[in-house]
Amino acid sequence: MSYRITLLPGDGVGPEVTAAARAALDAASTAFNLGLSFDERAFGGAGIDAFGAPYPDETRTAVAAADAIFLGAVGGPKWEKGGPRPEQGLLDLRRDLGVYANLRPTIVAPGFEDRSPLKADVARGVDFLIVRELNGGVYYGDREEGKTRASDLCVYTRDEVRRVARVAFEAARGRRGKVTSVDKANVLATSRLWRAAVEELRAEAYADVELEHALVDAMAMHLVTRPASFDVILTENMFGDILSDEASVLSGSIGMAPSASLGDGKGLYEPIHGSAPDIAGKGVANPIGAIMSAAMLARHSLGRDDAAAAIERAVAGALDDGLATRDLGGDATTTVFSNAVAERLA
Ligand code: NAD
Ligand code: IPM
Ligand code: MN
């Protein structure tokens, strides 16, 4: 087998963490004979600078030919002064790929509870998966942008809810069998549709999975008071964006959080953090979110659990050795951490 991986490093720390993900995939490719080849393309702010568009045509062509796509991060102050926005490229990419289910796992590893901003007893045992709807909602509704009035329309269809809910129920079956669906059904029509569609699908096909509903405001609280009580958290696009940043720091830093965006075709893999303009170019970004996203790529796009598990073990081993970037209180650079992971894979 051979696979073509298109890398979209993007902006800020994006290229720094993408290099780390590439190094891990490269080492895994050699060790497990994965037959990976890579090509890097301009995207986001880098796409605007090189071609005048965040998702340039030549990048589209490469994405179309790829077996899987890895993205670093996009955006930054340079592109906030008017003109095309890097983030729009990402929304277009997710829509074009039809990756409607965004998986964002959070795990507090045993022994590392003290990295959490929460009390160790609260953080202990945290192991949940956020399944974020990624192709609909307020991100994709009609937008009106005026000087005195603006609007962003939030739309969901029953089928859009069902297809992502199915991913959550299936994931729960392979885990601890519980789904918490998060909405704002006390106020929003889209949330009432969401809740009804989730209930309906469960009754049809997933009666063995435990289902509870939570309102998003209370959920923001539960995530810091009893995070270990959740298994799979299913939610719409914007709530998932917000809750996943909150969840990511339970393990110590947003720099550790990976994601896989899946649909019916090829997958997109990205750390959940942004371009981190405050630390970009300093070589101190935590590459773990990117490297763990590479592991998700191996698992979901290559079907290689062995390579994925090896990448995950290499990260855990480097942490066990005491290596850590600045956000985790250590002094390892991005490259030092990344090299340690690649060496363990070799
Ligand atoms: P951010 O995630 O870039 O940064 C938030 C904080 O987390 C900062 O203090 C940053 O230094 C820290 N951080 C982020 N990644 C880190 C890493 N790997 N290691 C150590 N620390 C890390 O969020 P922001 O500052 O709100 O957004 C900056 C830009 O990134 C914006 O333009 C935003 O639109 C964009 N963004 C892009 C993505 C993406 O490409 N998927 C995601 C989120 C934000
Ligand atoms: C993320 C980011 C993106 C989102 C932005 C950059 C469009 O915050 O991947 O979490 O909101 O989905
Ligand atoms: Mn986000």
pLDDT for position 1? 80
Pocket of ligand 1 (CB under 6 A): 13, 17, 73-76, 87, 90, 253-255, 270, 273-279, 285-286, 289, 327
Strands (E) located in 26-111: 36-40, 68-73, 101-107
Q: Which stretches of the chain score pLDDT less than 50?
A: none
- Find the 27 Cα to ligand 3 centroid distance in Å: 29
Residue type, 170: E
pLDDT tens profile 259-268? 999 999 999 9
pLDDT for position 237? 98
3-state class (DSSP) for residue 73? strand
| Catalytic hit among 3, 55, 139, 140 | 139
**Global pTM value:** 0.98
| Catalytic hit among 241, 266, 269, 327 | 241
217 catalytic residue (yes or no): yes
140 catalytic residue (yes or no): no
Contact predicate 41/54, CB 8 Å? no
100 catalytic residue (yes or no): no
Pocket of ligand 2 (CB under 6 A): 75, 87, 90-91, 241, 272
| Catalytic hit among 39, 114, 208, 217 | 217
The ligand 2 atom nearest the CA atom of 245? 10
Task: Spell out the domains of the chain, with CATH numbers in brackets.
Answer: 1-98+265-346 (3.40.718.10), 101-252 (3.40.718.10)
Q: What is the rounded CA–CA span in Å between residue 248 and residue 107?
A: 9
Beta bridge partners of 214: 182
Measured by CA distance, the residue closest to atom 12 of ligand 2 is: 241
Q: What is the rounded CA–CA span in Å between residue 297 and residue 112?
A: 25
**Residue among 51, 13, 21 at smallest CA distance from 38:** 21
pLDDT for position 305? 98
Tokens for 231? 């298994």
Q: What is the rounded CA–CA span in Å between residue 178 and residue 230?
A: 8
245 catalytic residue (yes or no): yes
Measured by CA distance, the residue closest to atom 27 of ligand 1 is: 274
Nearest 10 degrees: Cα torsion 263, 254, 91, 261 = -10
